[in-house]
Structure 1
Amino acid sequence: MDEMVRYHFFFTGRVQSVGFRYKASYLAKEYGLTGFVKNEYDGSVSLEIQGLDEKITELVECLKRDRVIRIYSMSKEKIDLVEGEKDFKIKF
């Protein structure tokens, strides 16, 4: 059985100006995940996401298969759950 987890991801590659944040937000809502996605000043994208581990894996796999997004590297760190978080946001 899957457990609730929260991860902080950093993605580099062609991840800005290609709809990455919007696709991540759409998928997070479809999979019932919470957290946020944000463009970083160095051209990377950070994603903090919480929910069932299996659903988070599915979201990342969908991003990797996208025809426009090109992920060159990805880091993943397990972090503490955020109690009471109810939605997924795009941060600007």
Structure 2
Amino acid sequence: MSHNYKRVSMKVYGKVQGVFFRASTQEKAEALGLTGFVRNEPDGTVYLEAEGDPETIKQLEAWAHRGPEHARVEKVEIKELSELAGFKKFEQRR
């Protein structure tokens, strides 16, 4: 694991549940070689954490602002987290 890896959380607002957002996020993150998780929140948002190369995380951030085809993303709150979690893969959580 590279030492310049970083971990971020993203909270995605808009029409982001029921549009395959989690599955698409997992697909995109895996394609980018990132680890972490994505889940739907009770408030209608999607929350995810991703860990990996900072440049690759930027690509996921850019993707999250659009999301999959039927999503309507209003905003994305991104926070850099201080500790790496050492995720083994990228998964969908309930």
Q: Return the TM-score normalized by structure 1.
A: 0.88
Q: Alpha-carbon deviation of 1:65? A: 5.9
Q: In structure 1, how many angstroms separate the alpha carbons of the residues matched to 2:14 and 2:67?
A: 14
Q: Residue 14 of structure 1 aligns to which amino acid in structure 2? A: K
Shift in Å, 1:67: 2.9
1:13 alignment counterpart: 14
Aligned pairs for 1:1-92 within 5 A: 3-63=4-64, 64=66, 66-79=68-81, 80-83=83-86, 85-92=87-94
Identity %: 33
Aligned length: 89
Structure 1 spans left out of the alignment, 5+ residues: none
> How large is the Cα RMSD of the aligned pairs?
1.3
TM-score of the two chains, using structure 2 as the length reference: 0.86
